[in-house]
């Protein structure tokens, strides 16, 4: 009995460590990607393209996302420290931030058309598909995590998947190549590849990939495919032209 209890405790410790490290890894990616255009703007060189202007909506969006990411890291650290009581109390605040990001994602997506901060391989209207198409996947994963907050296995995977679904913009700003469509596709695949540690963790601990992880990966692949389709064909512009706020 003591051995079984010890094994369970070891597995729980390893799982807490995994999610904690994943959260910190995402923070590192975000800091590297957005340092030139947001966090360290004017201090470090702009890459891989000149920085767009920082409108009030972009600043609010950046601050909201940063706050949510900080809370997300805090949540993983609380669980790792065995403070599930505080984790549950902070859950409401994190949900408010997570939901507040959604309308800001839309506003920033449509208002960027006027700012014309798209890469040279497309135009402002077609580029708006990138931030806008990410909203449904993110919203579904956040809602899934909140609805299943009493089911730890689903909750933690859904919330991690929601955070991972927002990594492409940060990865896309890393100096991995010139601002062309093939490089955009490559960085998109890299963002989906960030699910690999979770997939491997599932197989190691469960013997199979958890359905929530499959949903997260599938949604992000679908979003990337949709983005590439519209960017390659230029067929999103007529739709975007009629969206509220454009």
Residue 174 is assigned to a structural domain of this protein: yes
Residue 207 is assigned to a structural domain of this protein: yes
Q: How far apart are CA 245 and CA 103, in angstroms?
A: 12
64, 97 Cβ separation under 8 angstroms: yes
* Domain of residue 170, residue span: 2-240
**pLDDT at residue 50 above 80?**
no
Q: Residue 48: pLDDT band by 50, 70, 90 thresholds?
A: low
**pLDDT at residue 177 above 60?**
yes
The overall average pLDDT reported for the chain is 89
Residue 63 is assigned to a structural domain of this protein: yes
Residue range 237-243: mean pLDDT, rounded: 95
Residue 199 is assigned to a structural domain of this protein: yes
- pLDDT, position 74: 84
Q: Residue 134: pLDDT band by 50, 70, 90 thresholds?
A: very high
Q: pLDDT tens across 60-85, in order?
A: 999 999 998 888 888 888 777 777 77
Residue 245 is assigned to a structural domain of this protein: no
Residue 83: φ, ψ to 5°: -100, 65
The position carrying tokens 């403070």 is 83
Query: How many domains does the chain contain in total?
Result: 1
Percent of the chain scoring above 90 in pLDDT: 61
3-state secondary structure string across the chain: CHHHHHHHHHHHHHHHHHHHHHHHHHHHHHHHHHHHHHHCECCECCCCCCCCCCCHHHHHHHHHHHHHHHHHHHHHHHHHCCCHHHHHHHHHHHHHHHHHHHHHHHHHHHHHHHHCCCCCCCCHHHHCHHHHHHHHHHHHHHHHHHHCCCCHHHHHHHHHHHHHCCCHHHHHCCCCCCCCHHHHHHHHHHHHHCCHHHHHHHHHHCCCCCHHHHHHHHHHHHHHHHHHHHHHHCCCHHHHCCCCCC
Residue 28 is assigned to a structural domain of this protein: yes
- pLDDT, position 2: 46
**pLDDT at residue 88 above 80?**
no
Q: pLDDT tens across 190-229, in order?
A: 999 999 999 999 999 999 999 999 999 999 999 999 999 9
**Residue scoring higher pLDDT (112 or 182):** 182
Q: pLDDT tens across 12-41, in order?
A: 778 888 998 999 999 999 999 999 889 998
Token couple for 69: 């990411």
The dihedral sign for the CA sequence 128, 108, 146, 152: positive
Q: What is the pTM of this model?
A: 0.90
Residue 246 is assigned to a structural domain of this protein: no
């Amino acid at each position: 009995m003591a051995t079984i209890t010890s094994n369970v405790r070891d597995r729980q410790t390893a799982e807490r460590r995994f999610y904690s490290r994943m959260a910190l890894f995402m923070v590192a990616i975000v800091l590297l990607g957005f340092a030139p255009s947001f966090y360290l703007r004017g201090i470090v060189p702009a890459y891989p393209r000149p920085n767009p202007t920082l409108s009030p909506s972009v600043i609010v969006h950046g601050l909201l996302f940063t706050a949510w990411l900080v809370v997300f890291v805090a949540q993983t650290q609380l669980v790792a420290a065995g403070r599930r009581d505080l984790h549950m109390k902070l859950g409401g605040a994190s949900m408010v931030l997570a939901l507040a990001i959604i309308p800001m994602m839309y506003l920033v997506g449509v208002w960027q058309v006027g700012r014309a901060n798209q890469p040279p391989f497309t135009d402002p209207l077609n580029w708006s598909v990138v931030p806008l198409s990410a909203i449904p996947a993110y919203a579904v994963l956040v809602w899934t995590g909140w609805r299943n907050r009493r089911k730890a296995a689903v909750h933690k995977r859904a919330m991690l998947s929601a955070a991972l679904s927002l990594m492409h913009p940060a990865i896309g700003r890393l100096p991995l190549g010139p601002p062309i469509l093939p490089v955009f596709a490559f960085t998109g695949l890299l963002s989906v590849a960030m699910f690999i540690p979770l997939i491997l963790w599932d197989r190691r601990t469960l013997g199979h990939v958890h359905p929530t992880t499959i949903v997260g990966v599938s949604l992000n692949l679908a979003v990337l495919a949709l983005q590439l389709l519209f960017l390659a064909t230029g067929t999103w512009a007529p739709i975007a032209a009629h969206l509220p706020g454009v």
